[in-house]
Structure 1
């Protein structure tokens, strides 16, 4: 890893309050073994976490994308890097002031390269142990105590921009880490103006298709294999209990004791689903089972079967149309078997 630039600013906010303050450094920290080691540890911690891929939302009024583009189109001097980082911290201060439950921390802005690939990394650190950030009022700079040790496990939130991909507009050039499992962390994503090329609705719908193709897990209590509708219902409860955040690895561990099983079947079937995403509430309804009983007939089927038209009321007449060759064969088999008995 090669470090090019690093600056640290402080964003102060108390949970429960709607005000925030900043302490902005006026100069870069020197490139040294200490600062290089810090960035290396932050980058390693970031790589070991679960990240989501995205691009910039380039709509009007998006502060981060427009200012980052302006910085990249400039001479990219030290002063322009410092000004860019200050502007972004002030913008974050405005956003975080509106989030009552949010807290601040130290924001590390750094340009560096790994294996020849350039990155801009922004790391938000809270309540770190093993390192002390000191204000040097004389130099107006946040400094790192060179004796202490950085506990990188306290990395709160972070994003990283893959510079070559950004410049060539090649795929998803932003990655971001989302520690929070609720809306408190949304301000960080909003600040970056990160947008996923596919919507959460799309990912949720693909998850439904994926689950339909996967082997069915066993029930924790009985040890018996779940039927597909029960599995879908348990999956929906699991997802909603986690604030609609879907983590394919954690879900694999929970239902199969295999963190890679969802990833494996996703890749085998070429489904475009991020490892982590927030499920769309309406699309989750597709997983639910409908149970209709009337006129001596009972039908149980998923909402997905209804939405897809596999089970539907006829346009004319008092008919319900069910399109399923497998169901037809099973119905015929059971009727014939019953006639023989």
Structure 2
């Protein structure tokens, strides 16, 4: 796995609350840091772990409130650290907006990882158990007790290689691989796992 960019933000929300706040990191993490490598390696195993169920789809561009595809398009034009930060912060704003509409939802650390294996991927994972991942005031990991995959609340992964081949026309795709460039995974069967994103 080649790690390209990583950042951790925080979504602050209590169950039952109708408000949600965000705490944004102001820089990407050092991808040579052993802590960052350990974190990314653990999260990367989400998609090959027995018991994690994936839901596949594509972004829906029909919803005017769903700006995430536009942010992704802009990032892929440059792929700079600044645009990665912008993409992740705008995504966090979308997550906060959706969380407000779900009274029972709670916050956590939101980890954004751009990495390459056979394909280029963007992985977004929500870690609710703060005992598992400890960060400092700058949202840099300082301790990883364990990557307990059963405590990863949910994650989304975008196959950026396939996504780049859609040309923004998800409604008329024929290629099955391209049509499923977006996947969500949860430790249990949970159709609400994609609730933070508008998907087809």
Question: TM-score, normalized by length of structure 1?
Answer: 0.51
Distance 1:13 1:88 in 2: 16
In structure 2, runs of 5+ residues without a counterpart are: 167-177
> Please, which runs of 5 or more residues in structure 1 have no aligned partner?
136-140, 196-341
Picking from 163, 173, 186, the partner of 2:181 is 173
Q: Say if 1:147 and 1:65 are closer, same or farther in 2 by CA, change over 3 A.
A: closer
**Alpha-carbon distance in 2 for matches of 1:24, 1:172:** 30
Give the Cα separation in 1 of the matches to 2:38 and 2:113: 12
Q: Distance in 2 between matches of 1:68 and 1:177?
A: 20
What residue in structure 1 maps to residue 136 of structure 2? 134
Aligned counterparts of 1:70 and 1:6: Cα–Cα separation in 2:
18
What is the CA–CA distance in structure 2 between the aligned matches of 1:147 and 1:158, rounded to whole Å? 18
Are the equivalent residues in 2 in contact too, given 1:46–1:158 (CA < 8 A)?
Answer: no
Matched, 1:29 2:29: yes
Shift of 1:19: 1.0
SS in 1 for 2:73: helix
Pairwise CA distance, 1:181 = 5.9
Compared CA separation, residues 80 and 47, structure 1 to 2 (3 A): same
1:128/1:154 contact within 8 Å kept: no
**Highest CA radius of gyration, 1 or 2?**
1
The CA deviation at 1:178 is 3.9
Shift of 1:60: 4.5
Contact 1:7 1:82 in 2 (8 A): yes
Give the secondary-structure state (helix, strand or coil) at the position aligned to 1:194.
Answer: coil
Q: What is aligned with 1:68?
A: 72
Aligned position for 2:81: 78
8 Å contact kept, 2:39–2:144: no
Contact 1:10 1:24 survives alignment (8 Å) = yes
Task: Tell me the TM-score normalised to structure 2 length.
Answer: 0.84
Larger relative contact order (CA 8 Å, sep ≥ 6): 2
